[in-house]
Structure 1
Amino acid sequence: MREATVDMARLAAMDAREAALLLKGVRDATLKGGRPPLAPRADIRESWQRMLRKGIDPDKDHRSRLLSAVELEHRRSASPLAELLPLLREGLVSASGSYSGSPQHIMVVADADGRVLWREGSPAVLRKADGHGFEPGADWTEATVGTNGVGTPLVTRRPVQVHSAEHFVATHHSWTCAGAPITDPRDGRLLGAVDVSGPLATMHPATLMLVSSVAKLAEAELRNRHFTDLERLRSVAAPVLCRVGGRALAVDGHGWPAAVTGMPPVDRLALPGGFGAGRVLVPSLGRCVVEPLPGGWLLRLEDGNAEAAVDVPSRAVLDVSRPRRWSLEVTGGAGGWTQELSPRHAELLYVLARHPDGRSAADLAADVFGDRTRTVTVRAEMSRVRRTLGGLLAHRPYRFREEVEVTVVLPADPGDLLPHSTAPAVVAARGGRRGLGRGPEA
């Protein structure tokens, strides 16, 4: 019989105090290894597991050193989220109080390291947030303050609502919050998170939908600006490419092509680590002479690239040891390169590394989505991976080529493997643990 799980809509319909007591019962029983009246939601349960493995005390307030004014201003000016503040403000600061009839929320914007960069909203709630150390410059990662609406979305890469005693640390139980990650559409890099927080009485299940929608609008705005930048680069590159003999193309700093000559159109290129002017080995293209352009780079393919582009690497190191950044380092006869991986590509390559004999499209669909029928999605993803990584992968079945020595660098604790992932193969490798108990209290 399937276990009943906490439901946010039902909580919202309850008296705020009654809902808080119910969640406290769920938390206390779960952390002690008992049988809770309702099972915690999946994202909350997995976050609590991470906190217990890290040794976070659930009954003690945790604070970090605040960034200095200089450090904070530096992070603000360097963050791509700064230009999105008007959109976030319009979507969240004014709208977040509409569900409760009173503007009793605050909007919080944090960077990818979980540092709070900006806060806006109700003065009374801002003062309450100060009392919890929830202020500009604070570290609001899970590792510092436990399960919360900023740090948890940064780990899961998904929108998360955290209400009352769903916060791992007891001092945050008077809060309700909903947060969503914001990623850069140009390269999938995690930019930070946006969160709406307030007193328990203002909780509404639609708040998560609101925050998620505004985060998607912010990503769409970044995408539109990217298209504008590509058009600008294309206008600069066009006369240059007209004068270049042979095969050449212009790409922006993220590998997106703006113009090409002497060769078929290409998809986005995986620019290796340390990419810059000079002779560079580019996966799927081979050796190129790279020159700077305003807003991008000119790549001129060298002679003999037909052989270089299909050069089979001899060694690949897949590093999935870090919680939010994953990479693939490749070496071979034509040289070496390093590529950061998107969350999905990290999952796929991890599964293939675990199965050197290969996986069919149906196998990968089951491994990643838990549904063997999603072969179309898998084939599309694997097509992108294979184009990005040159001669590293084979297909029918999908696998690393036999000539490639593959090494996987794993986290010290299996439970920290790709924490964002819900892929069945990854969940099983993490141990598939459902128990949370610390054991009976002495």
Structure 2
Amino acid sequence: MHQDSLEAALPVGEDPHRHARLLARVHDAALAGERPPARPRPVIDASWQRMLSRGIDPERGCAGRPLQPEELGERRRETALAEVLPLLRGKLAGVAEQTANIMVVTDADGRVLWRDGSTAVRRNADALGFVEGMSWGEETVGTNAIGTALVTRLPVQVYSAEHYVRSHHAWTCSSAPMHDPRSGRLLGALDLSGPAATVSPTTLALVHTVAQLAESQLHAAHTAELERLRAAAAPMLSRVGGRAVVTDGHGWVAASCGVVPMNHVALPAGCAAGRAWLPAFGDCAIEPVQGGWLVRLLDDEPVVEARTRVLLDLRSSRQAFLEVTSPSGSWSHPLSPRHAELLYLLAVHPDGRTAAQLAAEVFADPARTVTARAEMSRLRRHLGGLLNRRPYRFSGNVEVDVLRPPDPDSLLPHSIAPVVRGR
């Protein structure tokens, strides 16, 4: 990363109050279409131009509503940033408290997921609408460190009147984007914000360093996941025969047989079991395995349609299992009571279910679609290509059987879901 991407908003040796007054004159002139007394920094100038082209109101920004508590909870559960939240809090929450700042973590949409730090500053942030669940993207609140960092994908510090919306001029904020090392996808931003008087040229470097530590921790966790997949992949490949690779859900290679060693395979968007053409290999057969995919190179061999068998074992009152048998072998996955209910519903309705139908038949409340989607997202993360969505259902190449207990009343005895209790 270039050094100028970590440019502090306050020039070294500059008096903060005097610089804030200069920035205010620059801001007023720029918005009035007049020649400013000094040029704004390039990152700020570019953002202001985006705001002007969008017609963002410099007095109020755009109207925004915070997420409902259920949707906020879903976003918190779904984001990989939840895995590194203890690290982020450990490195920055104390600093935020001591320096009269707040530490903020957002998702890739700029929605505030978590806040920590000074109680007094949090009260001031509440008055500004800088609250959990609110969007802090440029399209809502104009130029600010979070929104601008998410647009530029670079660490950004914004001081005083560099903010586009005037009500934010009393603040300074420093943000750095965070990415998923598995996919390169933007996860969100890490931010330290507080009164303009707390501005420091070192804050941005600190925030950027902690964001990098978070990405490193995610990378280490991914490496550990690949190692676990690799342990299962070796015996699997020995049974398959022929050229093949085993990848995780993002295409990272855990093991291979008969192909040039590589780290990553570009899988199709929305990868599903069946036949597909891959840039690295040509014609392939893709099969779900626990934690990823088995990719067999077909070369010129004829395609034999092989189906995957799924056995939903609900005979035990203590633990439900999903057992999967495919051409490459078998594996099983223990199920939580909630996931057992959802899979049972999909098994008895092979045509599939919408989120509203899932909510009605499992939670007895068709309005709980957010919760239903969150649970299905977690299931699909574990079971890969076995499940489709829109509507939610077992994949077309999957044969599903359900093993029930002899006594119908013993089927998932702790469940009160209408689909289980027959209501």
> Same fold judged by TM-score > 0.5?
yes
Greater shift in the superposed pair: 271-280 or 251-260 = 271-280
Equivalent residue for 1:265, pick from 254, 257, 261 = 261
Equivalent residue for 1:150, pick from 123, 143, 146 = 146
Residues 20/12 of structure 1: CA separation in 2 closer, same or farther (3 Å cut): farther
State the partner residue of 2:129. Answer: 133
Deviation at 1:16, TM superposition (A): 3.7
Contact 1:237 1:293 in 2 (8 A): no
State the partner residue of 1:20. Answer: 20
Distance 1:127 1:55 in 2: 29
Distance 2:202 2:293 in 1: 44
Contact 1:12 1:203 in 2 (8 A): no
Deviation at 1:29, TM superposition (A): 1.8
State the partner residue of 2:178. Answer: 182
Distance 1:267 1:130 in 2: 46
1:69-88 map, 5 Å:
69-88=69-88
Could you say which structure has the greater relative contact order, defined with CA pairs below 8 angstroms and 6 or more residues apart? 1
The alignment partner of 2:57 has SS state of coil
Deviation at 1:170, TM superposition (A): 0.5
1:39-438 map, 5 Å:
39-96=39-96, 102-304=98-300
Contact 2:175 2:191 in 1 (8 A): yes
Deviation at 1:63, TM superposition (A): 3.7
- Per-residue CA deviations over 1:5-63 (Å, capped at 9, x if unaligned) read xx847556444432221110111122223332221111111100110111101122444
Aligned length: 295
Contact 1:115 1:137 in 2 (8 A): yes
Distance 2:72 2:9 in 1: 37
Q: What is the one-letter code of the residue matched to 2:251?
A: G
Deviation at 1:175, TM superposition (A): 0.5
Distance 1:14 1:262 in 2: 63
Q: What is the one-letter code of the residue matched to 2:93?
A: V
Deviation at 1:285, TM superposition (A): 1.0
Distance 2:13 2:273 in 1: 60
Residues 190/10 of structure 1: CA separation in 2 closer, same or farther (3 Å cut): closer
State the partner residue of 2:389. Answer: none
Work out the percentage of aligned pairs sharing the same amino acid.
55
Contact 1:147 1:167 in 2 (8 A): yes
Deviation at 1:165, TM superposition (A): 0.4
Deviation at 1:286, TM superposition (A): 1.3
Task: Give TM-score scaled by structure 1 length.
Answer: 0.64
Distance 2:60 2:123 in 1: 21
State the partner residue of 2:403. Answer: none
- Per-residue CA deviations over 1:140-184 (Å, capped at 9, x if unaligned) read 110010011111111000000000100000010000000010001
Contact 1:63 1:133 in 2 (8 A): no
Distance 1:63 1:131 in 2: 15
Distance 2:44 2:110 in 1: 18
RMSD: 1.6
Gaps of 5+ in 2: 1-6, 302-423
- Per-residue CA deviations over 1:319-356 (Å, capped at 9, x if unaligned) read xxxxxxxxxxxxxxxxxxxxxxxxxxxxxxxxxxxxxx
The alignment partner of 2:95 has SS state of coil
Contact 2:67 2:134 in 1 (8 A): yes
- Per-residue CA deviations over 1:350-382 (Å, capped at 9, x if unaligned) read xxxxxxxxxxxxxxxxxxxxxxxxxxxxxxxxx
Task: Give TM-score scaled by structure 2 length.
Answer: 0.67
Distance 1:296 1:232 in 2: 11
- Per-residue CA deviations over 1:160-214 (Å, capped at 9, x if unaligned) read 0000100000010000000010001111100011110000111001100001101
Contact 2:26 2:39 in 1 (8 A): yes
Distance 1:9 1:146 in 2: 17
State the partner residue of 1:312. Answer: none
State the partner residue of 2:32. Answer: 32
Q: What is the one-letter code of the residue matched to 1:36?
A: P
Distance 1:245 1:217 in 2: 41
Contact 1:106 1:125 in 2 (8 A): yes
The alignment partner of 1:135 has SS state of coil
Gaps of 5+ in 1: 1-6, 306-442
Contact 1:61 1:170 in 2 (8 A): no
Distance 2:283 2:8 in 1: 55
Distance 1:71 1:16 in 2: 40
State the partner residue of 1:372. Answer: none
Deviation at 1:304, TM superposition (A): 2.8
Q: What is the one-letter code of the residue matched to 2:68?
A: S
Distance 2:267 2:291 in 1: 15
The alignment partner of 1:204 has SS state of coil
Contact 2:158 2:174 in 1 (8 A): yes
Distance 1:9 1:172 in 2: 15
State the partner residue of 1:308. Answer: none
Distance 1:78 1:150 in 2: 20
Greater shift in the superposed pair: 262-271 or 165-174 = 262-271
Deviation at 1:267, TM superposition (A): 3.5
State the partner residue of 1:402. Answer: none
The alignment partner of 1:150 has SS state of helix
Residues 209/8 of structure 1: CA separation in 2 closer, same or farther (3 Å cut): closer
Distance 1:71 1:201 in 2: 35
Residues 28/237 of structure 1: CA separation in 2 closer, same or farther (3 Å cut): same
